[in-house]
Structure 1
Amino acid sequence: MPSTLNIAQLNNNPSPRRIIIIGGGIVGAALAFHLSKAQSENHITLIDKSLEILLGSTGHAPGFVGQLNESPVLTRLAKDTVQDYLTIPGGFEAVGGLELSSTSSGLETLERRQRIAQGAGLPAELLSPEAATSLARDFIHANSIKHCLHFPSDGTANAGVITSYYIHQARARGVDFLEAAVTGFATKKENETTKIATIKTGSGDINSEDSTVILATGIWTSSLICNGSTPVTQVPIPIVPVAHPYTFTPPRARRVGTPYPFVRWLDHHVYARDHGDRDGLGSYGHPPVQLDPTESAIGAWPSGFDQVLSDASSHLKNKTEFQVQGQDTDPEEPWAADKPFNGIFSVTPDNLPFAGRVPDVANLWLAAAIWVTTAAGTAKLLAREILADGEHSTTSEDKALLDALNPARFQGVAADLLLQQSLSKYNDIYNRET
């Protein structure tokens, strides 16, 4: 999709009601869509370095949407997200989700999660190994598992389809799009108030002093916030990009019958899904690897990931079909989902996103470290807060969610401790007991 305006046009038409969203992945697109639905005088512009190809984490997201989380905040946002995705043609398929274990502690975990799910209004049923195997015969050995929990309303999201839908709908409502690589910011302080005065890009500077600026920049957020030697904010924003291996089987004919649920082996931190014309598998069963992303969210392949995928695939019935030997991807070449790859995504010290106003920069908001699972719910929440006036005023539930996602929640905590806590959460993504 081409730009709908250029930097000169943007600078020549300043508006106090301008909202600039930086980042055109699923989060930025959802924000543009939900902000544009309001009957307001806001002029919304979305900026991304690539309007044609999704270069961020959205572009490689495996699409799992498990609504239950040990955090009630994430559960609420995931439920809201699914309701949004269900309205998008081809956006979401309720194939269900299975969690498997073969240990007594795993059974306790599954029983606890069933109780939490029921309290959250999510259907969840304990199944026999035979019943679970019947739902994903090529994945599961019935004799290798003892305990199974089924979430029938969970499913898989097509992040590319969803993002495209949001962008086209937003564009039809008058949202402008600008292809430009944002490289940093210049701030201005007046009367003890700091603002983002200039958005620096590889194509020129954008005057943003009178604009609301929202960073929906995922894995690049921390580097943009750091802004070289002059941080934009004094508030710590610990969003840590990490490496993550994912692989596929070679292409095959689509299975006949009911689609497989996505499957998680809790004891081994392995997960798999049916992509239609191939199967996919990923693993969190390795020490966290911090990375500095460059042009895309596909990173260099750590040699140790071959063994990680080999170990992970051993838990599946069709283990021999998965490719486990990775290769470096040329960042200049378009990425194709057919080989093992290192998909970079963000972790935080509490596994919660950052969504809200940055307190010491008057016109800066964050919508970052947000996964596909909670993207729409978080975008809707933030849009209501930004538009908070009369009909769109936030509720007490919204305020509680925003408090939990407050960008200033780690103020006063040492940077090295926040990094350590963030990396430790990588192995805790799916609530594994350690």
Structure 2
Amino acid sequence: MLSTLDIAYLNANPSPQRIIIVGGGIVGAALAFHLSEAKSGHHIVLIDRSLKSELGSTGHAPGFVGQLNESPILTQLAKDTVLDYLSVPGGFDPVGGLELSSTPSGLETLRRREETARAAGLPAELVTPEVAASLAPDFIDASSVKGALHFASDGTANAKVITSYYLDQARIRGVDFLEIAVTGFETKSDNEQFAKIAAIHTENGDINSESSTIIFATGVWTSSLISAGRNAPITQFPIPIVPVAHPYTFTQPRPPRVGSPYPFVRWLDHHVYARDHGNRDGLGSYDHPPLQLAPRTSAIGTWPSSFDQVLSQASSCLKNGNEFQVQGHIADLEETWLPEKPFNGIFAVTPDNLPFAGRVPDVANLWLAAAIWVTTAAGTAKLLSREILRDAMHSTTSEDKALLNALDPARFQGLEADSLLQQALEKYNDIYNRES
């Protein structure tokens, strides 16, 4: 996708109806799609460093969409997301999900999650190890499992297909695109309490943005961009979005399996998950100390040598574990990554495992849509679009208000940065793996 305008045009045609989305991954694309769907008359512009390739987490997301979460907020957003993805051709495959355990506490967790899922309106069924193994026979050894929980409506999302669809549809509806690297921001204070982002600094000059609404959909780069004010951070509110390392690997390519594709599988006791990618299998693990990173030009990080052992241990959980590549390569440049090899996929965590979605209180024209996974991207984008476009004649529904309060960018006000960082890192092992 090519740029449809340039900085000179934006500066020569300021408009209070302009919405600038910074970030073109699945979240920014979903925002462009849903904001333009409303036909509100706003001029929507999406800015990204690369409109031709996904440099953020969207480009390497494993794609599992598990709708049940310990947080009812995330469960609702995931359900809304699946409804959206099902309308995207080739975007979502409802292959289902399996959770496995062999410990007494893990089996109790499965029983509790079955009840929670049904209360949330999600199909869930406890199945025998033999039934679980029949759904993914190359992955699961029935003799090593004591119980399993099957989520029939979960599935896998093709993040690249979904993102491309959203962007194409947004462009048809008149959304403009600008391929350029954002390097910082300049704020302007009207009084002691509120500021505005008056200019967006880019590698090719400044964009006048004082009259625009700006949305950061910038994933793992959000914290660094918030700190990129000319003399101080853009906002005084703590926004603890912490980029962390995560190992993922594949088998060698193979012919697609005959019959139904495997469900996404999680080994609850071992912090390991696997999926059928069609022409190869994938494997990831959260069973290691969290590693904070500072991403540079992409969300693929340098490979820590310790991840070789992490993947070796993870692969032992699978019946076909010896087919997975477990040794990465320690390279300093992200561009050396090959998509069929083990890689360190950077993503963002927060102190409460919830995204940031909403208006930043002390910056009048800034909204956040960050730390959002593929699992909840569309649901969060729809929620935020409704709130941004809501006029004075319409109040926020009670359901939307509850979601927005939980995702409020100001929710960590008054807390110490070091404490928030530690809390966020401690959440890494809870992403898929509650204590069992």
TM-score by length of structure 2 reads: 0.98
My pick for the range that moved more, 320-329 or 346-355, is 320-329
Per-residue Cα deviation, 1:185-232 (whole angstroms, up to 9, x for no partner): 000011333000000111110000000000000000000001165100
Distance 1:319 1:300 in 2: 24
- Choose from 314, 323, 326 the match for 1:324: 326
Shift of 1:430: 1.4
| 3-state secondary structure, aligned to 1:87 | coil
Does the 8 A contact of 1:242 with 1:347 survive in 2?
A: yes
> For 1:32-431, what aligned pairs fall within 5 Å after superposition?
32-192=32-192, 193-227=194-228, 230-328=232-330, 331=333, 333=335, 335-389=337-391, 394-431=396-433
Distance 1:350 1:15 in 2: 37
Distance 1:420 1:148 in 2: 33
Per-residue Cα deviation, 1:272-313 (whole angstroms, up to 9, x for no partner): 000000000000000000000000000000000000000000
Does the 8 A contact of 1:384 with 1:393 survive in 2?
A: no
Does the 8 A contact of 2:242 with 2:350 survive in 1?
A: yes
Distance 2:227 2:164 in 1: 30
Distance 2:394 2:94 in 1: 30
Distance 1:390 1:409 in 2: 24
Distance 2:347 2:334 in 1: 19
Unaligned runs of 5+ in 1: none
Shift of 1:363: 0.3
Identity %: 77
Distance 2:393 2:250 in 1: 47
Distance 2:300 2:63 in 1: 16
Shift of 1:39: 2.2
Per-residue Cα deviation, 1:237-295 (whole angstroms, up to 9, x for no partner): 00000000000000001000011000000000000000000000000000000000000
Shift of 1:327: 1.2
| 3-state secondary structure, aligned to 2:430 | coil
Distance 1:249 1:332, change over 3 A: closer
Shift of 1:330: 6.2
Distance 2:200 2:233 in 1: 14
Shift of 1:331: 3.9
Distance 2:404 2:320 in 1: 43
Does the 8 A contact of 2:246 with 2:345 survive in 1?
A: yes
Per-residue Cα deviation, 1:117-150 (whole angstroms, up to 9, x for no partner): 0000000000000000000000001000001000
Distance 1:215 1:377 in 2: 17
Distance 1:420 1:35 in 2: 35
Distance 2:390 2:295 in 1: 35
Task: Report the AA paired with residue 128 of structure 1.
Answer: T
Task: Report the AA paired with residue 211 of structure 1.
Answer: S
Distance 1:158 1:67 in 2: 16
Distance 2:129 2:8 in 1: 63
| 3-state secondary structure, aligned to 2:126 | strand
| 3-state secondary structure, aligned to 1:273 | strand
Task: Report the AA paired with residue 428 of structure 2.
Answer: Y
Shift of 1:393: 5.1
Distance 1:204 1:106 in 2: 55
Distance 1:393 1:134 in 2: 50
Does the 8 A contact of 1:350 with 1:422 survive in 2?
A: yes
Distance 2:29 2:341 in 1: 27
